[in-house]
Amino acid sequence: MKICFTASSGGHLDELMMLEPIIKEHNSYIFTEKTSYQPKQTKYKTYYTNQINRKGKRFFIRFLVLWLYSFFNILKERPDVIITTGALVTYPLCVIGRFFGIKIIFIESISRIKSPTLTGKKMYKIADSFIVQWEELLEIYPEAIYGGGIF
């Protein structure tokens, strides 16, 4: 089974890297942003895209480029599953993956206890499995799976 692990840089990526035992166990790769912050685990095949700010001047153009890069990544790698902790950089990859019949697993941020993330709201509609790390979020995401913390 081939798995794409995707997250924005920083805390989302740190959270995703807590799943390293799964990364090691499968044919896996990472899809993330290129920033000054890089994960501790860089020994895995990794694809980098530019970081995008939703409020930036050239957001629309950069977002279109991200969609294209995501599309070509899916065509090249052909993952069976995409596992993500969010945020913005992951959404196009997941939407395109869903179009190709790839299973999507979204893990809502551990920092969200009583309110959803923007990415979580969008991913709840398309994810095959939606996992929350706090039971309180089951009120917001009633069909989610409570998985406990991954830290």
Residue 51: which CATH number? 3.40.50.2000
Positions in the chain whose pLDDT score sits under 50: none
Model pTM score? 0.93
Residue 20 maps to a domain: yes
Q: What is the pLDDT of residue 2?
A: 98
Q: What is the pLDDT of residue 54?
A: 83
Q: What is the pLDDT of residue 105?
A: 98
Overall domain count for the chain: 1
Q: What is the pLDDT of residue 29?
A: 97
Residue 107 maps to a domain: yes
Q: What is the pLDDT of residue 56?
A: 83
Which is nearest to 119 in space by CA: 73, 87, 94? 87
Residue 60 maps to a domain: yes
Q: What is the pLDDT of residue 37?
A: 67
Owner of token pair 């052909």 = 78
Residue 151 maps to a domain: no
Q: What is the pLDDT of residue 43?
A: 85
Residue 127 maps to a domain: yes
Full residue range of the structural domain in which residue 51 is found: 2-146
Count CB-CB contacts under 10 A for residue 151.
8
CA contacts within 13 A on the Cβ side of 58:
7
